[in-house]
A and B are shown apart, each in its own frame.
Chain A
Amino acid sequence: MDMLSGLAHGAAFIGSNASGLRIAQANPLEHPTWLRFLTTFNYEIGKRVFEHKGPLPGWIPEMVPVTWFVILVLCLTVIIAGRKLRLRNPGHFQLALEFIVTTLEGFVRNIVGDREAKVITPIIGTTFIFILCCSLIGIVPGFISPTSNTNTTVALALMAFFFVQYMAISRLGFLTYAKHFLGEPIWLAPLMLPLHIVGELARPLSLSIRLFGNIFGEETVVGVLILIVTVILGNVLIPLQFPMVLFAVFGALVQSLVFSMLVSIYIAVALAGHEEHQ
């Protein structure tokens, strides 16, 4: 049902005059989700318009309850798994989670080094799992990926940016970190300072745009392929989008890996550059 209305939405987009678009509908294939009852919206039965009152106001996009759903599922999984931890004879569930944590810790340790890995792994690992789940939930029918919206990715990238700054300042001290911005020959500082600051500020921009562009592109391709089948063939449903769905799984994995890897590399660069100077 929601797929049909999503298709109708997309068909209206493709058939409509471009001036009829509103900027709020940035994603033409954005369709209603199972969590729509939480928001406020208008709907029509026949010619009468009804208003559905949910606990959330109408201007909140539906990816917000979807994000809460992801957070809820992740938290419940970990809480339920963490209740019965056993040192001897651990269950399958505990072993699987331990495998995930060990892999993530090894991944961070390879990049950042042994000393800071224990501090950084929880944040990088949580970011990885959260981005992966947010990207993958768009494949489930009736859900949209929160990461295909710029708001989520900008928030994640800003969090990563402030985390990198916090790590650099707390480990190096503010003065050493600020001196790093001035560059090596001190008389080049007027040239290097803006360059370093712009370079630092470009990082969250490129992080957020990369994640958003990839996930949004995959979702749009899948949606357009569904649309092509229904528009051309009518009622004959062929899963033309299936290869792209598989590719979306791969892309979600790679993009979450790239995001967490880049954040840990930024931290490693900020911490290692200092040791070389000394």
Chain B
Amino acid sequence: MSPVVALILAIGFGVPIAVIGGALGQGRAAGSALEGIARQPEAAGKIQTAMIIGLALIESLVIYALLISLILLFMGVPSAEKLLQAVSKVK
């Protein structure tokens, strides 16, 4: 497998794997918040605030994976191709 293909596989699989974890966590957070609101409707405002912050913090982890994928896509792939060209010239 050439390094470019490996990089593209990493880019393609990296974000979905991060999304699985993030989705599980966000689902649990939202579900617990809804249970709390159903049990205590008068605390809905505070629970919503805390839930949105929690969701944002979970989401930012997924976005780190997206960022790494973007960095690999826009910097890793061209440099890997340059590396391959250099290696083939040496041969």
Hey, which bits of chain A sit against chain B, CB under 8 A? Answer: 18-19, 21, 23, 26, 110-111, 206, 209-210, 213-214, 217, 254, 257-258, 261-262, 265
In the complex, B90 has a CB within 8 A of chain A: no
Given contacts A26-B74, A209-B63, A210-B63, contact A18 B4 (CB under 8 A): yes
Could you say which residues of chain A place their CB within 8 Å of the CB of B74? 21, 23, 26
Given contacts A258-B56, A261-B52, A261-B53, contact A217 B66 (CB under 8 A): yes
A23 to B75, CA, bound (A): 7
Given contacts A18-B77, A18-B78, A23-B75, contact A262 B56 (CB under 8 A): yes
Hey, which bits of chain B sit against chain A, CB under 8 A? Answer: 4, 45, 49, 52-53, 56, 59-60, 63-64, 66-67, 70, 74-75, 77-78, 81-82
Could you say which residues of chain B place their CB within 8 Å of the CB of A262? 53, 56
A134 to B82, CA, bound (A): 37
**Which of B53, B64, B81 is in CB contact (< 8 Å) with A19?**
B81
A21 to B78, CA, bound (A): 7
Most A C-beta atoms less than 10 A away, residue of B59, B63, B67? B63
Chain B nearest CB from A260 CB (Å) reads 11
Q: Is the CB of A209 within 8 A of B81?
A: no
Name B78's closest neighbour in chain A (CB-CB). A19
Beyond the given pairs A26-B70, A206-B60, 14 more chain A to chain B contacts, judged by CB atoms under 8 angstroms and listed by A's residue number, are A18-B4, A18-B81, A21-B74, A21-B77, A23-B74, A110-B45, A209-B64, A210-B56, A213-B63, A213-B66, A214-B59, A254-B52, A257-B52, A261-B52
A-B contact pairs, 5 of them (CB 8 A): A19-B82, A26-B70, A26-B74, A110-B45, A257-B52
Name A213's closest neighbour in chain B (CB-CB). B63
Name B85's closest neighbour in chain A (CB-CB). A19
Could you say which residues of chain A place their CB within 8 Å of the CB of B70? 26
Given contacts A26-B74, A254-B52, A258-B52, contact A209 B60 (CB under 8 A): yes
A210 to B22, CA, bound (A): 14
